[in-house]
Structure 1
Amino acid sequence: MQSIPYSVTLRPKIFVFTVMGTYAALAPIAVSSVFQHLLAVPMSVLLTMVSVCIFAVAWIMQREETSFKALNRIGISMILAIALPAFLSIAASIYALTVVQSVEYVAYFQHSLLNRLINIGMFATLSLLILFFIQKDVRKVTYSLTQGYFVGLSVLVAGGVWQFLHFTIGYPMPGFETRAFVHSVSEDVLINFRLTSFTDEPSFLVPFLIDGLIIGGMLLSKKAYSLYAIPAVLVLLLSFSVSGYVNLAVIVFSATILLFARGIIPKKVGLYAIISILILGMITVLIFPQLITALFMPIIGRLDSLFDVMHHSRLYMLVFPFVWLFDYSSINALFGFGPGSYDFLARTKYLSHQGAVSGTSNNAFIDLLFEHGVFGGLVFICVFIGVFVYLWRKRKGHLYNSIALLLWIHLGLTNMYRSDFASPRFWIIVLIVIGLTELAKRNITLSDRRASSSYKKKVTT
């Protein structure tokens, strides 16, 4: 008699976890403009809205009370660090209507402000609901998110390999409009394309590839991980993304430090390996200087203008918001021009060498600084650094804390060159980090059992 109600209550939970995994799997593909514009409503917004409704109904059906105090503090802090300054920024935007007195600002206020508020509200609600589920069953939630997300990341890797075959041997591939061409280079190049997979440009792709390298190391065996990592690194290298190369170098360095700290790699072995790699690299450059130069010309050819603020569009959009923030009033400098107000800049500010600036700086910290002001920007940065400090102090404990720290460092890096705090990827990484810290706190593994000493050794390896 006990099995009937159990099966009835189990099915909605299974459905919820399936939706979580599906949502996470579609997050990497959602950055593709082709996928985004399949319908009148952006697909990422539609998927998030549907997921929020399903999670809300499932939670109401459970009829279980959970206090906010029991929820993970990292998650609550991240939600409040964006939501509370957003409310203050709305008040500042109303004040700005009387100060700016601009047709462009009114156009932003009538359109982009509402869209941004909807996105912030949806992701805050989605994250809050998943925090409730994490509190009740952290293993299944974290398992669903990591497995689903990794499936989506694998699709991007497969798309990159497919694109490589298309460019090299003419293997048929649909004609996606991406920035796969080499630009800003005047000299001959050995490879005249850049891999973008199904994304719009290399800098969209690279964060996902590194996400997969980190998460795959936790989910896969050594052989399976090699089968994933080799093509993923190949696609990353052939993306010729400067920011991606720097990102990968920092993550490899951070992972090495963590492995040393945990004693997984003996310091002597690690030191010898680093010296050997450096010597091998120097020898390769000395023997094949022209080949190496031609191979990496898509990057080398852009270095002369990389740090030229007036002629590098991304750098221009990173630097000048600090100036534009103080153009009007101290109130707006302190609390911002409103959620999504970078759209106002896109309507009024122009690059020195081409057209109007983009609707985003591609830097989450700069976007928040202009939208939420000095106050909101500092609140977000302080919370983000606070989470980093917490994970750093826990790095020598459970392995999951070290993986969470590595993901957090990676999220901070991608926030600087290709990230949006109102996007599925941002919150999925935050929720995976939260799930890993909760698993570590409760001494639970992603498998369906408590962490035994033998299993810990296997996972650590």
Structure 2
Amino acid sequence: MKNLVLIAVFFYLMTSFLSVSIEPMFMYVNYFFAGILILLTLPYLFKSKFLNYPFFKLISLYYFAASFSIFFGFVALYALNFEKIAFFDVNLYGRIFNIILFSALSLIIVSFCGYKNYLTVRYVALFYCVGCAFLILTGYWQALSLYWGIGSFPFETRSWVHGFNKSDYDIEGRLTGIASEPSYFVPFVLDFIILSLIAFKRRFLKLSAFAFGAIAMLLSFSPSGYASTFFAFILAMLFFIKPNSSTIKYFSSFLIIAPFLFFMLIAKIKNLGYVFERLSNISEDGRFKSIYDTLIAFFDSNIVNILFGYGVTNFRVASQYTDYSFLMTSNNLFADVLVEMGVVGFFLMLILFFILFYNTYKSSINNYQKFLTYALFFDLLTTSMIRADYSTSRFFIMISLIFLLSKYDVYKRS
């Protein structure tokens, strides 16, 4: 039974990247393995000391936020402002199902790490890394077709520059792999870059995997990806004053590789200024303006909805009163949570993030692992601001990984 659980955990974590696939049907592979893991876990739920109650308490903050938004926020919206929304046009069920499923699976994985040596933290990191590596490999497959004309990449992704106010730019050859677009691709790449330094034991494997991910990140030409990578490591260094010297070497190698690849690939970039323009003028970006306008519309609501939001999935209730009425999400986790879960839900989500940070800060794990746990925390924080959905498997996997890495030595059974 233990081996079956291990296999189910492997395939669930390894296929999590399919949630961002350009082919929507691919995500059902992840749901399939999620279902198998749930079924295999059912007998353990009746065993004493199986569930990890500290993690359950942490994730309960999320449950309270979502529940309040559904039972108070959505009900108030429909009862007091029924003209704003047609009940049967709202699809709450899909996201609610995802929240329950993926949060439960994270609780299960964390619980197995503390139950009779079923699972090590390193295995959790390694299994998730394998899935990220598969996604990155599809990016290199795409690169062979784009840069050298070798083979044919059959998926039509949004690799061009798109979005608000981007018509002045034309960049060729942005890697997405089978992800829908670069901003879906880069969070998994950054996860891999950080976790590869933990999941692999040998220095050669660490360096090879780190370079494998770093090059893919550079070839994405994603301003959000570059910014997230920079801030994840820099903030980790600021909060962890004396990072392990080997960690500094890995990050320094990334900074050395970056300009070299830029010069080598300069002929492939029609307007390199796009990246720097996006990063230096964030306040003028259309996405930023859409969030600002939507929040203004949200705070013009009644007090109940301001406190508890419009209900999960209902970001568009606020965006319909702006010039960006077509938006279903802000692509910013915190803006989405504020609109959909209200001030109460937003506050509970901040507490969840604070507890993750505080657990890392107070952790007695080794310095190397502690630094990379900080990096993973800031990875989740920064990527949540540029492309996020609080009901995805990645979101809950990252929360569980940060929790586990702050508590257990990665190379020891819990």
Give yes or no for TM over 0.5: yes
Instruction: Report the 3-state secondary structure (helix = DSSP H, G, I; strand = E; otherwise coil) of the residue aligned with 1:28.
Output: helix
Relative to the length of structure 2, the TM-score reads 0.85
Distance 1:38 1:64, change over 3 A: closer
1:186 is matched by which residue type in structure 2?
A: D
Q: Mean Cα displacement is larger for which, 140-149 or 209-218?
A: 140-149
Instruction: Give the structure 2 partner of residue 338 of structure 1.
Output: 311
Matched, 1:106 2:87: yes
Cα pair 1:342 1:370 within 8 Å, conserved = yes
Q: Could you list the runs of 5+ residues in structure 1 that have no partner in the other structure?
A: 1-11, 451-461
Q: 2 CA distance for matches of 1:377 and 1:259?
A: 27
Cα pair 2:121 2:411 within 8 Å, conserved = yes
Q: Could you list the runs of 5+ residues in structure 2 that have no partner in the other structure?
A: none
Instruction: Give the structure 1 partner of residue 328 of structure 2.
Output: 359
Cα pair 2:95 2:313 within 8 Å, conserved = yes
Deviation at 1:124, TM superposition (A): 2.8
- Aligned ranges for residues 82-97 of structure 1 at < 5 Å? 82-92=62-72, 93-97=74-78
Based on CA coordinates, which of the two structures has the bigger radius of gyration? 1
- Output one character per residue of 1:394-419: Cα deviation in whole Å (capped at 9) or x when no partner: 37745433332221111111111112
Instruction: Give the structure 1 partner of residue 2 of structure 2.
Output: 13
Deviation at 1:384, TM superposition (A): 0.7
Percent identical residues: 22
Cα pair 1:185 1:301 within 8 Å, conserved = no
Instruction: Report the 3-state secondary structure (helix = DSSP H, G, I; strand = E; otherwise coil) of the residue aligned with 1:320.
Output: helix
Deviation at 1:425, TM superposition (A): 0.7
Deviation at 1:200, TM superposition (A): 0.5
Matched, 1:54 2:8: no
Cα pair 1:362 1:416 within 8 Å, conserved = yes
Deviation at 1:37, TM superposition (A): 2.2
Q: 2 CA distance for matches of 1:252 and 1:65?
A: 40
Q: 1 CA distance for matches of 2:392 and 2:377?
A: 16
Instruction: Give the structure 2 partner of residue 212 of structure 1.
Output: 192
Instruction: Give the structure 2 partner of residue 324 of structure 1.
Output: 297
Distance 1:244 1:255, change over 3 A: same
Cα pair 1:141 1:435 within 8 Å, conserved = no
Matched, 1:30 2:10: no
- Output one character per residue of 1:150-208: Cα deviation in whole Å (capped at 9) or x when no partner: 11111122111111110112222342121112352536x6x622110110111111111
Cα pair 2:2 2:118 within 8 Å, conserved = no
Matched, 1:64 2:53: no
Deviation at 1:305, TM superposition (A): 6.5
Cα pair 1:185 1:298 within 8 Å, conserved = no
Distance 1:149 1:388, change over 3 A: same
Among 403, 406, 411, the alignment partner of 1:446 is 411
Instruction: Give the structure 2 partner of residue 307 of structure 1.
Output: 283
Instruction: Give the structure 1 partner of residue 382 of structure 2.
Output: 413
Q: 2 CA distance for matches of 1:67 and 1:49?
A: 19
1:182 is matched by which residue type in structure 2?
A: V
Cα pair 1:242 1:299 within 8 Å, conserved = yes
Cα pair 2:309 2:339 within 8 Å, conserved = yes
Cα pair 1:391 1:402 within 8 Å, conserved = no
Instruction: Give the structure 1 partner of residue 397 of structure 2.
Output: 428
Deviation at 1:66, TM superposition (A): 1.7
Instruction: Give the structure 2 partner of residue 80 of structure 1.
Output: 60
- Output one character per residue of 1:418-458: Cα deviation in whole Å (capped at 9) or x when no partner: 12121111111122222223323xxxx4266x9xxxxxxxx
CA RMSD of aligned residues (A): 3.5
Instruction: Give the structure 2 partner of residue 391 of structure 1.
Output: 360
Cα pair 1:83 1:124 within 8 Å, conserved = no
Q: Mean Cα displacement is larger for which, 318-327 or 395-404?
A: 395-404
Instruction: Report the 3-state secondary structure (helix = DSSP H, G, I; strand = E; otherwise coil) of the residue aligned with 1:251.
Output: helix
Cα pair 2:159 2:175 within 8 Å, conserved = yes
Distance 1:222 1:266, change over 3 A: closer
Q: 1 CA distance for matches of 2:237 and 2:134?
A: 27
Distance 1:100 1:76, change over 3 A: same
Relative to the length of structure 1, the TM-score reads 0.77
Instruction: Give the structure 2 partner of residue 242 of structure 1.
Output: 223
Among 91, 97, 102, the alignment partner of 1:118 is 97
1:446 is matched by which residue type in structure 2?
A: Y
Q: 1 CA distance for matches of 2:178 and 2:340?
A: 30
Deviation at 1:82, TM superposition (A): 1.3
- Output one character per residue of 1:34-58: Cα deviation in whole Å (capped at 9) or x when no partner: 1x3258xx554444344323322x4
Cα pair 1:388 1:405 within 8 Å, conserved = yes
Distance 1:185 1:303, change over 3 A: farther
Cα pair 2:298 2:318 within 8 Å, conserved = no
Cα pair 2:373 2:406 within 8 Å, conserved = yes
Cα pair 2:124 2:401 within 8 Å, conserved = yes
